[in-house]
Amino acid sequence: MTSKQQERQEFVAQLTRALPGMPPHLVVQKAKLLMRWGATLQRLAEESCNGHPAQGMPATMIDAAHLGKLQAAWDRRIEHQEERIQRLAEATCKELGMVPNFGGDPRGYVFKVHLCTGASNTWGGKEEGYGVPS
């Protein structure tokens, strides 16, 4: 088993412990949704950090003004997608009685949830929440 698979299974187990009144198949369904959105938010954070792909092109191939327009459109697209995914995640968390915590640094978890059990898997501990695997 890979570490990613193990991390996902641990997340499902934590949600199962935090939601004892919910049938296990529904917990798994909600966990999969949260992990899917976590993966999307992780990808978007990485894209935002890296910038538009044209940024790596030689200056002779693209002028600065055009690159600026491309980057602005890129940033708007990422921001729009992040907002949409965060709204979906917030609604699901509210339904489950959890509070989401969003961060933009792609080096860690960009999406964390505060479980009623107080469990955490982040350096920030209980205050940061439990990182949703991507």
Containing structural domain, residue 125: 3-131
Residue pair 120/113 in contact (Cβ under 8 Å)? The answer is: no
For residue 112, list its beta bridge partners: 101, 131
- In this predicted structure, the answer to whether residue 134 has a pLDDT above a threshold of 90 is no
Cα–Cα–Cα angle for 126, 129, 133, nearest 5°?
140
Q: Return the pLDDT at 92.
A: 96
Report d(CA 115, CA 97) in Å as an integer: 8
Packing angle, helices 3-18 and 24-50, rounded to 10? 130
- Summarised one tens digit per residue, pLDDT across range 66-118 is 888 888 888 999 999 999 999 999 999 999 999 999 987 888 899 999 999 99
Question: Residue 56 above 80 pLDDT?
Answer: no
pTM of the model: 0.88
How far apart CA 6 and CA 47 sit, in angstroms, is 26
Does the structure show a pLDDT above 70 at 60? no
**From edge to edge, which strands make up the β-sheet containing 130-131?**
99-102, 111-114, 130-131
pLDDT for res 113: 96
Distance in angstroms (rounded) separating the CA atoms of residues 40 and 70: 21
Confidence band for 30, pLDDT divided at 50, 70 and 90: very high
Structural domain total, the chain: 1
Cα–Cα distances (Å) from 55 to 42, 80, 87, 90, 108, in that order, read 21, 21, 30, 33, 24
